[in-house]
Amino acid sequence: MSSHSGAASPPFAREIEQTQLANGLRVISEYMPHVRSVSVGLWINSGSRREEGPESGISHFIEHMVFKGTETRSAEEIAREMDGLGGHLDAFTGKELVSFNAKVLDEHLPAAFEVLADMVLHPVFRDDDIEKEKGVILEELKMEVDNPEYLLHESFLSNFWKGHPLGQSILGTRETINGFTAT
């Protein structure tokens, strides 16, 4: 007879650690010896819930802009560097945070992290890139407005959180997007 309690046990124990660095940065890691790929991300605790009035959509806009270049890399150099590593860059904006992340083979982690850190710490907001990205995000907004599921979700949030930034679209509005400048 088995002494098994009936509870399902995981196929392997997870090794998740949280480390607090001296500068306050939190590092959460999980060691997975059976996987050669590494995912690394930077989560910034500033999403759309902290935006009011003309700032509505600025977190999402900045998320887009960091891919346009840094003080030392052009947008093309960022893309080529990650492609050269066989890696993938991505980002998303939520109500609570903005995330920038990369996935590469484990041997390329230092290079991928350096690219991500450069993007987040040293972005350059050129006027011509800002104008181009406004157009990209306005198209994204148009596509979402044509999506009934998006409209229903946004309608619910705007009524539930009436007058609060949580009730605003993460994308912003046509007016706020058009108002964004480098200064």
- Identified catalytic residue from 15, 30, 63, 107: 63
Contact 67, 75 (CB under 8 A): yes
**What's the token pair of residue 139?**
């198209």
| H-state helical runs in 32-108 | 58-65, 75-84
* Spatial distance between the Cα atoms of 172 and 59, rounded to a whole number of angstroms: 9
Contact 38, 111 (CB under 8 A): no
**What's the token pair of residue 127?**
């006027």
Beta bridge partners, 123, equal 70
Please say if 154 is a catalytic residue.
no
Active site (catalytic) residues: 63
